[in-house]
Amino acid sequence: MALGDLFRLARGAFVLAREGVATAFPLPEPIPLPIRLLLGVARLIQRPAAGDRAGAERITRAVNRLGPSYVKLGQFLATRPDVVGRLMAADLSALQDNVPPFGEAVARAEVAAAFGAPVEAVFESFGPPIAAASIAQVHQAVVRDPSTGEPRTVAVKVLRPGVARRFASDVNSFYIAARLIERFHPPSRRLKPRAVVDTLARSVALEMDFRLEAAALSEMAENISADTGFRVPTVVWERTAKSVLTMEWIDGTKLSNVPRIVEAGHDPVTLAATLIQSFLRHAMRDGFFHADMHQGNLFVDPSGTLVAVDFGIMGRLGRKERRFLAEILFGFIRRDYRRVAEVHFEAGYVPGHHDVDTFAQALRAIGEPLQGHTAADISMARLLTQLFEVTELFDMQTRPELIMLQKTMVVVEGVARTLDPRLDMWRTAEPVVAEWIARNLGPVGRVEEVAGTLGSLVRLAGQLPVLARDLEAAAAAERDRNLYLERQRWSLDRLVWPAWIAALALAALAVTAVV
């Protein structure tokens, strides 16, 4: 445990206490004595003005003082309400980067180092920073189109210098905090604090390699190539490296600016429906979705198409998770609570020792209060939140991919309702969900599933000769090994009696010598 790591941890605790974060949220009773003592110290340290601020404002001030690593930690914990609680997760969801830019000269040096050439050799022109965040900042630049020779405006994302080293140092202090939490607060061990830090470290390591973000952009572009109303920027691969990402420049209006969207002649109601349906297609059809779809990362281009940017945080769902999502949503739409319960058991999310009918009864307690309300009054995100709360009573293990999906849906639904306050989530979602159900669980899906199984059997049959040779070679090797061991055993058996005779002779000589 390095002294520097302890110092960074102590500094972080001091700043959080100073800004009133430690006392911003109620804790479940009973509060252990050590925690009460720490809270008492935190109140003594807290700024007098901090108590007048909301929890989200306290967190924002604290993490921006502590730097990029804490900003990322806060944003990451916003996706884990199972760890920090629903109230704190909601406040952390509002956390946005507010970091000053690091200057054009430094960015030019970073670009030159990434490509081994001066900036002028990489770009026709390279402007000052136009947006800055904890990990990187964005510049506008111009490149020459290789096919037409025409100049083309691009966005260049440059990694913040030293951020990887700083994050690695801060992560060590996060691990110390996680170990202390596990040691002194046994109930928290089921949440696996060290595993949470592991996930954060992996996530940010991926986010700081812009080649992987470029690959995410490319993958989603392929997935949605036939879709309308939603797209992503094109990657300029020849000017992309680990610390520099170059992509198409997006001329558009941020989704947060609704008056300007209307002034430009776009229909907010249509945009809201497109946003919801696009997100559900990405999650259910492709199993690959943008996990940070807040208003700052969404634009409307002049044609009225939604454009998403910043693909540093992505979510993935396997086929089992996609089926789970589709069937529970469809089950709630049809009020088929028994089927929703069965899906949980079939997916293995709820242990088999629980009763399906009792679980269906708990689900009915969620679904029936929705009856009698207009669909526009029902929040799909709130439904999923309540669903995960109920499943905790039935020992459903934490599923990080589903929690990330649920948190992203909360954000996406919130953005969509700013465009259309009367958004009918169920009517908007039903075509996408029904299409997935029909395509994957209907006759066509069954045929494809059988075809996939047959294809696997055919591939296995083609590999049987190779497997047979491998098994024969392994059997021969095992026979040779057994034969060798048998010979060694026989050799040792032959040596047993001579060894005993030699030992007795030596003992007799020793006795004679003594006498």
Which whole-number Å values give the CA distances from 453 to 122, 308, 449, 459, 498, in the listed order? Answer: 50, 37, 6, 10, 64
pLDDT by residue, tens only, the chain of 515 residues:
566 667 777 777 777 777 777 666 655 566 666 666 777 777 777 777 666 566 666 777 777 777 777 777 777 777 666 566 666 776 676 666 667 788 899 999 999 999 999 999 999 999 999 988 878 999 999 998 877 888 999 999 999 998 888 888 888 888 888 887 777 767 666 667 787 788 778 878 888 899 999 999 999 999 999 999 999 999 999 999 999 999 999 999 999 899 999 999 999 999 999 999 999 999 999 999 998 888 888 999 999 999 999 898 888 988 888 888 888 777 877 788 899 889 888 878 788 888 999 989 988 888 777 665 555 666 666 677 677 677 767 877 667 677 778 778 878 888 898 899 888 877 888 888 888 888 877 654 444 444 444 454 455 556 657 656 766 776 666 666 666 555 555 454 554 444 445 444 555 554 454 44
Any domain includes 128:
yes
**Domain limits at 113?**
98-249
Task: Return the SS3 of 271.
Answer: helix
Task: Return the SS3 of 23.
Answer: coil
Task: Return the SS3 of 142.
Answer: strand
Position 466 scores a pLDDT of 67
Position 263 scores a pLDDT of 94
Position 455 scores a pLDDT of 53
Q: Count up the domains in the chain and report the number.
A: 3
CATH assignment of the domain containing 189:
3.30.200.20
Whether 334 and 285 share a structural domain: yes
Whether 128 and 229 share a structural domain: yes
Q: Which of 221, 249, 277 is the last residue of a domain?
A: 249
Any domain includes 457:
no
Any domain includes 458:
no
Q: Which of 418, 441, 464 is the last residue of a domain?
A: 441
Any domain includes 482:
no
Whether 332 and 431 share a structural domain: yes
Task: Return the SS3 of 248.
Answer: strand
Whether 33 and 127 share a structural domain: no
Whether 244 and 270 share a structural domain: no
Pair 197, 178: CB distance under 8 Å: yes
Whether 50 and 182 share a structural domain: no
Q: Which of 441, 460, 494 is the last residue of a domain?
A: 441
Whether 257 and 331 share a structural domain: yes
The model's pTM is 0.72
What DSSP character marks residue 214?
H
Position 75 scores a pLDDT of 73
Compute the distance between CA of residue 359 and CA of residue 362 in angstroms, rounded to an integer: 5
Whether 170 and 304 share a structural domain: no
Using DSSP bridges, classify how beta strands 298-300 and 306-308 pair: parallel, antiparallel or unpaired: antiparallel
Whether 123 and 195 share a structural domain: yes
Candidate list 91, 97, 292, 420, residue with the active-site label: 292
Q: Does the annotation mark 493 as catalytic?
A: no
Pair 233, 248: CB distance under 8 Å: yes
Nearest CA to 56 among 87, 18, 15?
A: 87
Whether 303 and 376 share a structural domain: yes
Which whole-number Å values give the CA distances from 128 to 103, 108, 116, 230, 291, in the listed order? Answer: 7, 10, 21, 29, 28
Any domain includes 28:
yes
- Tokens 């430690």 appear where? 22
Compute the distance between CA of residue 201 and CA of residue 43 in angstroms, rounded to an integer: 31
Any domain includes 421:
yes
Compute the distance between CA of residue 84 and CA of residue 279 in angstroms, rounded to an integer: 26
Any domain includes 514:
no
Position 270 scores a pLDDT of 95
Whether 221 and 271 share a structural domain: no
Pair 94, 410: CB distance under 8 Å: no
Beta-bridged to residue 235, according to DSSP, are 247
